[in-house]
Amino acid sequence: MSFFPASLETLIDRFASLPGIGRKSAQRLAFHILSLPDEEATAFADAITEAKANVHCCRICQNLTEGEVCAICASDRRDKSTICVVSEPRDVLSIERGREYNGTYHVLHGVLSPMNHVGPDDIRIKELLVRAAEDEVEEVIMATNPDTEGEATAMYISRLLKPFQIKVTRLAYGIPVGSNLEFADDATLNRAIEGRTEM
C-alpha cells in the first residue's frame, strides 16, 4: 500500500532506480525536490532533458561531448600519436586530473564481459581500430581497470592492434603512492616486486 500521492510515488520510484540510491534515500530526495522553489525544480528537470539531448560521443575518441569532436581531440596541443584507452568517460577525468598525460583518449564505454553478454561489438573497439589504421598513432596505452574484465579487454585489444605495428603498453601495477605496505594485498605486492625499477 502506498501512502504518498501517485506522482510523488512515481518520483520516488525514479530516484530509487538510480544506482546506489535505496528506497529511503529516494524518499528523501523526492521530498527535497518538492521543497524546492518551482523554478529550481524545473531547472532540475531541464538539466536532465538537456544533458540527454546535447551530450553525445566524440566522433573520434567516443568521449562525451556537446560538439562533433571533444575538446581534447580538437586541441592542437595534445599529442595525437598516443591514445590512452579507458573503459568509461569518468576515467578520462581521473587521468586528466593528474595533469601529466598529454595524448588523446579512446573511451570504450564498457569492457568485454561474457557473463553479462557484452561482446566486442557492444563496446567501441571498431572505432579504435579505425584510428589505429591512421599512420599518426604510435602508441596505445591500455588503461582499463585492473580487474579480470579490464585485463581481458586490454589483452583482447592488444592482440587486435598487433598487425598495425603500434606499441601497446599497459598502466604500471604497483603499490599506491602514500599507502602502507602492511595493507597492500599479495597480488599487488608481487606485481610491485616484478615491476621494480632501478633507483
The contact set with its own copies (CB under 8 A) reads 3-8, 10-11, 13-14, 18-21, 25, 27-34, 36, 38, 41-55, 64-66, 88-90, 92-93, 96
Element of type H or E holding 130: helix 125-133
Taking the complex as a whole, how short is the minimal distance between the CB of residue 85 and its own copies, in angstroms?
17
Q: How many CB atoms lie within 10 A of CB 11?
A: 19
Q: Which of residues 66 and 136 has its CB atom nearest to its own copies in the complex?
A: 66
Q: Which of residues 6 and 199 has its CB atom nearest to its own copies in the complex?
A: 6
Q: Which of residues 44 and 173 has its CB atom nearest to its own copies in the complex?
A: 44
CA-CA distance, 48 to 8, in Å (whole number)?
A: 18
The grid coordinates of residue 48 equal 536532465
Taking the complex as a whole, how short is the minimal distance between the CB of residue 174 and its own copies, in angstroms?
24
DSSP 8-state symbol, 113: B
Q: Which of residues 124 and 132 has its CB atom nearest to its own copies in the complex?
A: 124
* Alpha carbon separation from 101 to 61, 153, 167 (Å, rounded): 16, 22, 17
Q: Which of residues 12 and 140 has its CB atom nearest to its own copies in the complex?
A: 12
All residues at 6 or more sequence positions from 17 whose CB lies less than 8 Å from its CB, including other chains: none
Taking the complex as a whole, how short is the minimal distance between the CB of residue 134 and its own copies, in angstroms?
24
Taking the complex as a whole, how short is the minimal distance between the CB of residue 48 and its own copies, in angstroms?
4
> What's at 100, amino acid-wise?
E
Pairing between β-strand 56-57 and β-strand 64-65 as defined by DSSP bridges: antiparallel
Q: Which of residues 113 and 158 has its CB atom nearest to its own copies in the complex?
A: 113
Taking the complex as a whole, how short is the minimal distance between the CB of residue 126 and its own copies, in angstroms?
20
- Write down the residue that cell numbers 598516443 correspond to: 82
The pair phi, psi for residue 80, each rounded to 5°, is: -75, -5
The grid coordinates of residue 136 equal 599518426
Partner residues linked to 169 by β-bridges? 141
Taking the complex as a whole, how short is the minimal distance between the CB of residue 115 and its own copies, in angstroms?
19
